[in-house]
Amino acid sequence: MTNSPSAPDDETHRRSSTVETKTEQRYLYCLVDTSATSETEVPAKGVDDVSVRLVSHREVGAVVQDCGHPLETERLDQLKQWAMSHQRVVDKAGETFGTPLPVRFNTVLEGGDGAVSDWLASRYSQIHGELATLAGTWEYRLHLLWNSTPFEEAVTEDDDELRRLIERKQQADSGTAFLLEKKYEKRLRSLLQERRDELRSKLWRTAESIAVEVAEQPATATLEQQPSPESDKPIGCLAVRVPADAESTLGQRLDEFVDETGAAVRFTGPWPPYTFVSDL
């Protein structure tokens, strides 16, 4: 075996590598359609700066590098570095061969190039079919953020039930006022929930008008460089698969959504369609 990644400075890793370097393994980055170009190489360095190669079977190729063991570490900085190397290779494969079929980070195939080729042959129809389905499309993540304060201020004035509860509370004794306050909070929570649901549905419809596929994702804070204002809370996230030439249309529709609703959308991409591939 050649070009095994050097072991990181990590005792656990050193122990496992001494046992496992005897086995020939391939770290798998992604799968590509090799018929779209005459290229036969991926001009990128992978994990631990090792060159990556293409192992092909008919029209599908696996972007791999030699390795002696799965990547294991308890160091977060090391893990981030590996993840970035992984993403860099997948990006380069996408630039060279078109939309790649991504695989899970740290996927290692047992055996050498022959084993990889056999694996491709055994799943050729599925891989070829998926690549054809995903060709020319990319994934974007739409993070929906909302500052509820202006809405709360507006409904406090406009909602009949909230207004009535405020009036009753002002005339009530302390114990009754306490219960009325609880009812007020419940009504407000319900109105906020309705509005959040409306915004999520509207974003879904906006995305659906352009995307080939849409999938709901857990609402989490974005990992972007530019932080959002403290008041903007994540209330939803969609993964959308969009044709490569539709990015500007998607941007325009999202601008319209933002203007109409007052919510904010941060979108990241293009990514390989991680959300939309089936397990191989």
Partner 1 sequence: MQLELGDETDLHGGLTALVITIVELLIEALEHEAVRRMESNDLSETEIERLGQRLNALEDELDRLKEQTEIDDEVTGLKQQLDHVVHGALDEVAHRHHSVQRADRSSSNDQ
Binding site for partner 1 (CB under 8 A): 173-179, 182-183, 186
Q: Is 46 exposed, middle or buried (0-12, 13-18, 19+ CB in 10 A)?
A: buried
Residue closer to partner 1 by CB (options 71, 162) is 162
Q: How far is the CB of 174 from partner 1 (least distance, A)?
A: 6
Residue closer to partner 1 by CB (options 74, 255) is 74
Residue located via tokens 């302390």 = 174
Residue closer to partner 1 by CB (options 170, 248) is 170
Residue closer to partner 1 by CB (options 83, 215) is 215
Q: Is 219 exposed, middle or buried (0-12, 13-18, 19+ CB in 10 A)?
A: middle
CA-nearest of 91, 82, 118 to 32 is 91
Q: Is 193 exposed, middle or buried (0-12, 13-18, 19+ CB in 10 A)?
A: exposed
CA-nearest of 62, 73, 61 to 5 is 73
Residue closer to partner 1 by CB (options 15, 186) is 186
Q: How far is the CB of 172 from partner 1 (least distance, A)?
A: 8
Residue 228 DSSP label: P
How far apart, in whole angstroms, are the C-alpha atoms of residue 194 and residue 277? 32
Q: How far is the CB of 129 from partner 1 (least distance, A)?
A: 26
**Cis before 270? omega within 30:** yes
